[in-house]
Amino acid sequence: MFEVTSREIRSGVVELRMTGYDVLRRVQMPARAERSTMRVPVALREDGDVHYRDYRTTPHALTIGATKSGKSVYQRNLVAELAAQEVALVGIDCKQGVELFPLARRFSALADNPDTAADLLDALIAHMEDVYQLIRAEQRITADTPDADIAADIWDLPDHLRPVPIVLLVDEVAELALFATKDEEKRRDRIITALARLAQLGRAAGIYLEICGQRFGSELGKGITMLRAQLSVRTAHRVNDETSANMAFGDIAPDAVLATVQIPVSAPGLAITGDASGGWSRIRAPHTSLRAAVDACNKHAHLTPDLPALDAFRPVLASPAVPVAIPAPAAPATP
């Protein structure tokens, strides 16, 4: 036997699971993992169970990890799974678009720099306010109809009225929170306030956040810890110090901090995931290549919804690709 894991199911009942080998060494997802609306399999747990990302029960998530710890592979895997769902994908990729732009065919809106990101977030807030108005209008009708359920979020609306849910993926969030000049500081405050508003109010309007970065703590300035408190699913890949592990789990699952600092460099992709319930587990996503994620996005490109509110940010798909000329280094001066 390789490992025994235990879990308290309810008071007085403990579940024991035994595994014969390390299932996380080479992750093989079960061929028939269950999929349902806004609930997708993203990784394998150490007890052999599938780990799901379920947006309707835990809407917002934070994923952290040092460089080369496996964050991009995790996020890529999530996008490849979400691509097949009826959902709008919106991305902010401050690594100049390197991670998300190859997946552009399945994205309804993309931003690759903080200026565009600030405008995109404002547009998302305007969209959220419109959805709230739609829910209110429907409530007024159902309040007068005996026995009708009163809508509290988009999932209670009739199918023909329901706006498409949106998953907003933010890669390398610290880039949005750093500033050097007064103007950049204003832009930073606008971005963080918009993200905090989306985290507070987005769920009912079907807007879900997936925030990813190397660190996400109070050193990034005001508003960050308030935003972090709304991100109830936490996933931490390998980190370089205990402070970073504390950023993910210090406030929700202190035991998980120790497990996070023990992740070895030799196992990229290995991560600890936990939520506000205090429970946590060791997981690893399958090693999805960028090619496989691009193929999944291209295959489901026809599912990409048009969101009029975000039209200005729809990625322009240039084909065929134009090679970018990199300037040659200057010749050394001759003596």
Ligand X SMILES: Nc1ncnc2c1ncn2[C@@H]1O[C@H](COP(=O)(O)OP(=O)(O)OP(=O)(O)O)[C@@H](O)[C@H]1O
Query: Where does this chain bind ligand X (CB under 6 A)?
Result: 65, 67-73, 268-269, 284-285, 287
Phi, psi of 213, deg, nearest 5 = -170, 170
Minimum gap (Å) between residue 237 Cβ and ligand X:
6
DSSP one-letter string for 22-41:
-TTSS----TT---BTTEEE
Q: 263, 235 in Cβ contact below 8 A?
A: no
Q: Which residue is nearest to ligand X (CB)?
A: 269
157 contacts: CB under 8 Å, gap ≥ 6: 134, 135, 138, 151, 163
Minimum gap (Å) between residue 171 Cβ and ligand X:
8
| Closer CB to ligand X, 125 or 296, in the complex | 296
Minimum gap (Å) between residue 212 Cβ and ligand X:
8
| Closer CB to ligand X, 7 or 95, in the complex | 95
Q: Is 5 flagged in the annotation as binding?
A: no
| Closer CB to ligand X, 162 or 284, in the complex | 284
| Closer CB to ligand X, 56 or 287, in the complex | 287
Minimum gap (Å) between residue 246 Cβ and ligand X:
19
Alpha helices by DSSP H, listed for the chain, are: 71-82, 114-143, 174-177, 182-201, 224-230, 242-249, 254-261, 290-299
Q: 91, 109 in Cβ contact below 8 A?
A: yes
| Closer CB to ligand X, 94 or 192, in the complex | 94
Q: Is 67 flagged in the annotation as binding?
A: yes
C-alpha–C-alpha distance, residues 257 and 77, integer Å: 24
Minimum gap (Å) between residue 172 Cβ and ligand X:
7
Q: Is 279 flagged in the annotation as binding?
A: no
**Shortest CA distance to 17 belongs to which of 28, 35, 1, 37?**
1
Which residues contribute to the annotated binding site?
65-72
Which residues contribute to the annotated binding site for ATP?
65-72
